[in-house]
Amino acid sequence: MSLGSVVGEALAGYYQGDNSRDDQLLSTSLEHSLYRNRPLFLGEQPSKERLDDWNKIAKVSAALLSKYHGFAKEKDTFEVISVETPYHIELTPSIHLMAIPDTVVKDQIEELPLILEHKVRYRYRPGDFNLDYQSVGSCLVSGAIGTVYNVLEYSKTKFHRTVHIRDKYELDYFRDMFIHIGEDILRTPLEDLYPSPMGRCHCEYFELCNAEQTGLDLEDVISELYIISSKGKHEEEKPDEPEE
């Protein structure tokens, strides 16, 4: 449970409303999200530290979403098709892919289907989501041609929209990758299937391997994934969301 979970659930309620969405709907959606997630986060006997963390999440999410409606009112030039709805396709007769996109929309100008993907981040950096197999999976199952990344930067209370249209090569590459993953799962004995049936799927270097296979510049990818300290050593980036 995290800031992203609370804000994401609030945005789901907001976009499930009709096209006359208003700030009151967003406020109500946040109230429902906080009410539902509070016991999940705190448990039965929360510590003081846990309560402090929850209060921080509630405060930051309220400050962030109190201004989001003004941004969305100007930028939401699309029709909402579905919100957190399961989609699935058959990749092979024995392998099916299922995904639940945040929101599927249709652009009102080009009338093309897109995924609206909500991301809550401490700091926004263009290009952070170029290697996003989850969103590509959502495109494959829903028939969307690309992703609208809806980034809520909570350190500055700023909002960003970037659109990534996925070409046939990218979609075919990930389709093949998902098929290989499915084949690995089917070949794995049941007793070995959990928790890590395939090392490459859970490896912390997944993005780098994927970048190398797709011919991207690894130095560029590394610079996006890490902050280089003045001593020349890699330091892990500050967590995107408040620690739980």
- The stretches of the chain forming alpha helices (DSSP H) are 3-15, 23-42, 48-75, 133-142, 168-187, 199-202, 206-213, 218-225
Let me know whether 69 and 140 are in one domain: no
The number of folded domains in the chain is 3
The CA-CA-CA angle for residues 94, 100, 105, to 5°, reads 120
Where is pLDDT greater, at 76 or 109?
A: 76
Note whether residue 181 is domain-resident: no
Query: Which residues does 180 contact at the CB level (< 8 Å), separation at least 6?
Result: none
- Choose the final residue of a domain: 146, 168, 190: 168
164 and 82 part of one domain? yes
Looking at the structure, do residues 45 and 60 belong to the same domain, yes or no? yes
Pair 71, 15 in one domain: yes
Same domain as 60, residue 91 = no
Residues 53 and 102 in one domain: no
Sequence length of the chain is 244
- pLDDT of residue 225 exceeding 80, the answer is no
Side chain identity, residue 143: G
Q: Categorize the per-residue pLDDT at 197 as very low, low, confident or very high, splitting at 50, 70 and 90.
A: very low
71 and 83 housed in the same domain: no
**Residue 86: inside a domain:** yes
Which tens digit of pLDDT belongs to each residue from 11-34? 999 999 777 788 899 999 999 999
Specify the DSSP class assigned to residue 182. H
Three-class secondary structure of residue 3 per DSSP? helix
Q: Evaluate if residue 200 carries a pLDDT over 50.
A: no
SS3 82: strand
Q: Provide the 3-class DSSP secondary structure of residue 164.
A: strand
Query: Are residues 85 and 66 part of one domain?
Result: no
* 229 within a domain of the structure (yes/no): yes
Q: How many CA atoms lie within 13 A of 120 on its CB side?
A: 20
In a domain, 220, yes or no: yes
Of 49, 75, 101, the position where a domain reaches its end is 75
| Residues contacting residue 14 through CB under 8 Å, at least 6 positions apart | 21, 25, 26, 29, 72
CATH value at residue 97: 3.90.320.10
Question: Does residue 85 sit in the same domain as residue 164?
Answer: yes
- Residue in this structure with the two tokens 């579905």, named with its chain if needed: 82
Would you say 144 and 114 are in contact if contact means Cβ atoms under 8 Å apart? yes
Domain of 102, in residue numbers: 78-168
Residue 112 domain-assigned?
yes
- Residues facing 159 on adjacent strands: 152
Q: What is the pLDDT of residues 61-91, one digit of tens each?
A: 999 999 999 999 999 989 999 999 999 999 9
Tell me, what amino acid is at 207?
A: E
